Amino acid sequence: MLTIAKLSLLAWQDMNELSLTVIKARASEIAAVMINPLQCFHLNQSPPSDVVLSSNNRKVGPTPGYKEWLHKLADVCKTAGVVLVFDEVYTGFRLHPRGAQGAYDVKADIVVYGKTLGGGLPIGVCCGPKHLMARGDVKKAARVNYVMASMNAFLKWQDIMRREKGYPIQLTSWYSVWSILYSNPGRYHWLFQYYLKDAGVNLSWVGSGRLLFSLEWQKADYDRLLERLLTACEEMQKGGWWETPVANIKSKLGMEIGGALFKNILGLS
């Protein structure tokens, strides 16, 4: 979601020409435009939840045209004299040594980083040029400045798991951010994250929906992770959680969710 900062915060849609029109028309009122480049995954929507993960109704990777949108946004902000801020708390150093700026070949005026810089420790950092990071405006003394101062080998893994082993999962990535997709619908895919933990794979907060690599990883690191993924897959399959369902899972889930919603609307227990 695109956030336009003035005396209050205004939220506008990504990849929407109206957002650019507002910036041009109200440039004198706008202090800064802040954008989180990770929104390219789920444009103007919330991150995928467990409900979405169980149905596999999601995608991984940037929305087509997002790079061009960032370039257009940067040009509009520069012409309007509006500061462009990248929220790279998540994407910084994971997509590229220069973060989303490097991945999309676009330059922001200020970049915000998070605990990546502290090796996981709670820390926040704002980076920008001196004239924007200074407490006051050097040109107007009375004005206070409130603007705060890999993957190619990875993608081949799915051949081992899908073709040789027959496991119903597919791996996909966007730079150092990767996800596990399920090739068949199922009720119990959410359990796979626990088998991964037992195999020694520490997951991020959204389960198997979004995971992170270090840009310093070598082939030996990927081989070790692949071994643990295969171990988790084997145990998941042994547990019977990937048995071919007799009923149509999508239809059954739709009926259950629809029935629950209908009861909720009618106030039934």
Q: Which amino acid belongs to residue 153? A: A
Would you say residue 40 lies in a domain? yes
User: What pLDDT was estimated at residue 7?
Assistant: 46
Would you say residue 227 lies in a domain? yes
User: What pLDDT was estimated at residue 102?
Assistant: 87
188 and 70 together in one domain: no
Q: Which amino acid belongs to residue 110? A: I
Question: Which of 99, 133, 167 is at the close of a domain?
Answer: 133
The sheet carrying 169-174 orders its strands as 169-174, 177-182, 211-212
User: What pLDDT was estimated at residue 137?
Assistant: 63
* Pair of tokens at residue 120: 């996981």
Whether 149 has a pLDDT exceeding 80, the answer reads: no
Indicate if the alpha-carbon torsion angle 238, 191, 114, 35 is positive or negative: positive
Question: What CATH number does the domain containing 17 carry?
Answer: 3.40.640.10
195 and 114 together in one domain: no
* Pair of tokens at residue 67: 């790079």
Q: Tokens 């993924």 sit at which residue?
A: 229
CA dist 166 and 163 (Å) reads 6
Would you say residue 233 lies in a domain? yes
115 and 160 together in one domain: no
95 and 164 together in one domain: no
User: What's the pLDDT band for 15 if we cut at 50, 70, 90?
Assistant: confident
* Domain membership of residue 66 as a residue range: 2-133
Counting residues of the chain whose pLDDT is more than 70, the rounded percentage is 70
Indicate if the alpha-carbon torsion angle 153, 154, 157, 159 is positive or negative: negative
Would you say residue 247 lies in a domain? no
User: What pLDDT was estimated at residue 206?
Assistant: 65
160 and 93 together in one domain: no
User: What pLDDT was estimated at residue 168?
Assistant: 87
Q: How far is CA 200 from CA 22, 196, 227, 228, in A?
A: 49, 6, 10, 7
Q: What is the mean pLDDT of the chain?
A: 77
Would you say residue 120 lies in a domain? yes
Comparing 166 with 107, which gets the higher pLDDT?
107
Would you say residue 245 lies in a domain? no
Question: What CATH number does the domain containing 174 carry?
Answer: 3.90.1150.10
Q: Tokens 């084997």 sit at which residue?
A: 234
CA dist 187 and 265 (Å) reads 25
106 and 222 together in one domain: no
pTM attached to this predicted model: 0.52
The structural domain count of the chain equals: 2
84 and 201 together in one domain: no
User: What pLDDT was estimated at residue 76?
Assistant: 94
User: What pLDDT was estimated at residue 1?
Assistant: 53
Would you say residue 263 lies in a domain? no
User: What pLDDT was estimated at residue 212?
Assistant: 78
185 and 226 together in one domain: yes
119 and 191 together in one domain: no
158 and 125 together in one domain: no
191 and 73 together in one domain: no
Would you say residue 61 lies in a domain? yes
Helix (H, G, I), strand (E, B) or coil at 49: coil
CA dist 223 and 230 (Å) reads 11
